[in-house]
Structure 1
């Protein structure tokens, strides 16, 4: 009869198709005995199944290139001190350097004398993920070492903590895979500068999984920079989680300027009153590369502040994806949160997909979000050329000016110079 509800047959969820998961056999390859923590993450990974385009979070990020190969967890490559010095950003004595090769901590190449941090290798569980997903579980379950880096209450490190990650690849299948897992523990009143640097040992393809979490105590401060400068054959999947106590602050800037396929998550929980976070990023995909950047910021207490600025330049059939979420809990009144995503398309074949979002469950808040997508302004080009500046010089000025709001905010000179050099290198053909 018309008007009566029809009876819908409920279908049981499909079991994950392990055959379509290129990582399905890796857990059994591990040489160390799996802990309960890693076993739980592996089971969660199997339950989720390998991501595909039907999932909303993967709608614009194709993983087909991962399905074309199998992967292996091989032992670390040998890197000489001279080669490590060539790949490093800081010279000897300029930082507290921790070197990791293919997922393993290498004490002999590190600078740990008189380091103010306590380094703890722990197998027990570290803080729960803010926003878990497939590749987060992959890194948690397959990482060789979980390194806890602790800075005692009231301590302020005079040198930056430099985390150098060197991954090697190979031409033939199975391809090499390395996972890095670190946890920063900043106790109340401490202050630290941390630089994550990811480089490739050679030009061959490899897979890098990385996860950095940080517990930031009351009135502690963290300045964090991530430089993803791997070769243009590699795959890079990373997650950064920051959990803040009262009046704590974090400034985190990500410069994703390498790899064929990059997906980077930044999640923040403002769990203490008056906590603040600044999350910035600069992406430059080109030549069929795909860079996917995602942020998830939770305001869970009164009077917290967050600022986000994400900029992307896309050229030569490159693709960029941005997905940002700001969530305001019911009790998080007097929240002040803003997020902007600016995108610049350098030619007709470049593509951007952007989705900034707000979920607000509280009154008395100031929240805003927005996104822009455009090309180089012809009027700007005409203005500069009319003053005697050549076309290539004018184009270079506009591109560097677009990125300057982020690069000028880098306090460490060597980091800023490295970012600008890498930025110029990747734009060399656009600027010629």
Structure 2
């Protein structure tokens, strides 16, 4: 299998060789090669390489899309939209020239940025094979009071049987002294592909950001694709960052979130909802590092698993010796809807300062049928009682979505995904 993977990546290199003009890109490819030699068969990457091994890896450039399918899948909101399609930003469909955001496209991957975390295969693939960097600057220079949300859409379609396309993206988002809303929407089709996104968010002093990440399915089909999202967040002084993730599984989802607090009086509120069914797998790794005093981070992660699916959650909250008066909270809640489904949770605390407040909690359970019986004695049907208990588990997280249109669309998708009754409007 190792030789087969090498040959596939070598072929991909030849197809993309004309883009490799900068020394950094060649160095990234060299690092990828060394990484594969050392860590090809680590547990969290075996599934990816097995998937690659059984399919023909192709270049993504020649793949067209179905525009009708794309636009039917969008949230009906008023926003500045960027379409990332088949490995590149679509300049014709995207609102690149607008009065709210400065958006630049760098043709070659020549941006240097120091990382504070250990990279994995997905980072190296993105750094090596991304054809374009997208740089987004968000600031208050133009003094615009109302700023439309930035709606980033990832969509891939069209490939032949036994072929798999790999789409790599590298994005840099700079936010300075302003308030903004960013919505990332990954629309999964029923095609076979690998979507690999690597984002760097630099949130400068006195900024406020609401950031939503949604992975939803087109027409609620079963999906055969892989999605990897790697995020690094640099937070400076007096930042308020609110992050909300709702991920509905395709065959495999891998998400890495790395937060670094480099400023004082900064607060992070991070909620996530993960859904997995069939035999799908979701891996989420959250690393958070406090380096300055008087900062706060509150995390609440909830999962629901069905059938024979698996969700793996690893979280590390690290407080360094200079981060006095830090308040850190790390909370996990999981609901198992089948005896064969699994949730693996590993919360970790690394505290190097005594003058801090830190808590963590883990809850894992099933639907309590005594509660269903109690609701049935009050005249509520079994189906509605089951739906009531299930929705009540996730409703507090959904209420964090400030846009009612998106909230209602997500509720519909969750209800269909879980095959339960959407009764929310009755209460």
Q: Normalising by structure 2, report the TM-score.
A: 0.89
Matched, 1:199 2:190: no
Offset, 1:221: 1.1
The DSSP-based 3-state class of the residue aligned with 1:283 is: strand
Alignment correspondent of 1:400: 391
The DSSP-based 3-state class of the residue aligned with 1:42 is: helix
Query: What is the 5 A alignment of 1:224-239?
Result: 224-230=211-217, 232-239=223-230
User: Which aligned segments of 4 or more residues in structure 1 are displaced greater than 6 angstroms?
Assistant: 50-54, 59-62
Alignment correspondent of 2:322: 331
Matched, 1:143 2:127: no
Q: Normalising by structure 1, report the TM-score.
A: 0.88
Distance of 1:228 and 1:423 partners within structure 2: 11
* Structure 1: runs of 5 or more not aligned: 1-15
Offset, 1:53: 9.3
> Which segment is superposed worse, 67-76 or 342-351?
67-76
Distance of 2:73 and 2:57 partners within structure 1: 25
Query: What is the 5 A alignment of 1:408-427?
Result: 408-427=399-418
Q: Deviations over 1:56-114 (max 9, x none)?
A: x73997753343223222215334654432122235xx100111211211122123453
Q: Deviations over 1:276-327 (max 9, x none)?
A: 1122211111000101111110101111110111110000111111001111
Change (3 A) 1:224 1:23: farther
Aligned partner (choices 143, 148, 162) of residue 173 of structure 1? 162
Alignment correspondent of 1:383: 374
Query: What is the 5 A alignment of 1:363-374?
Result: 363-374=354-365
CA contact (8 A) 2:415 2:421 kept: no
Matched, 1:190 2:178: yes
Aligned partner (choices 73, 77, 83) of residue 59 of structure 2? 73
CA contact (8 A) 1:60 1:353 kept: no
Aligned partner (choices 76, 86, 97) of residue 90 of structure 1? 76
Distance of 1:168 and 1:51 partners within structure 2: 33
Alignment correspondent of 1:10: none
Distance of 2:168 and 2:136 partners within structure 1: 17
Change (3 A) 1:23 1:377: farther
Query: What is the 5 A alignment of 1:5-404?
Result: 17-20=2-5, 24-25=9-10, 26-30=12-16, 32-34=18-20, 35-49=22-36, 55=42, 58=44, 64-75=50-61, 77-79=63-65, 82-91=68-77, 94-122=78-106, 123=108, 124-131=110-117, 132-153=119-140, 158-187=147-176, 189-200=177-188, 202-230=189-217, 232-404=223-395
Distance of 1:59 and 1:82 partners within structure 2: 35
Q: Deviations over 1:332-388 (max 9, x none)?
A: 111100011111000111111110111111120111222111111122212211111
Distance of 1:111 and 1:305 partners within structure 2: 35
The DSSP-based 3-state class of the residue aligned with 2:348 is: strand
Distance of 1:104 and 1:351 partners within structure 2: 36
> Which segment is superposed worse, 126-135 or 269-278?
126-135
Offset, 1:39: 2.4
If each structure's helix is expressed as a fraction of its own residues, which one has the higher value? 2
CA contact (8 A) 2:101 2:136 kept: yes
- Number of residue pairs aligned between Structure 1 and Structure 2: 411
The DSSP-based 3-state class of the residue aligned with 2:332 is: strand
Offset, 1:232: 1.6
Alignment correspondent of 2:425: none
Offset, 1:225: 0.5
The DSSP-based 3-state class of the residue aligned with 2:51 is: helix
Distance of 1:115 and 1:78 partners within structure 2: 30
> Which segment is superposed worse, 408-417 or 264-273?
408-417
Offset, 1:244: 0.6
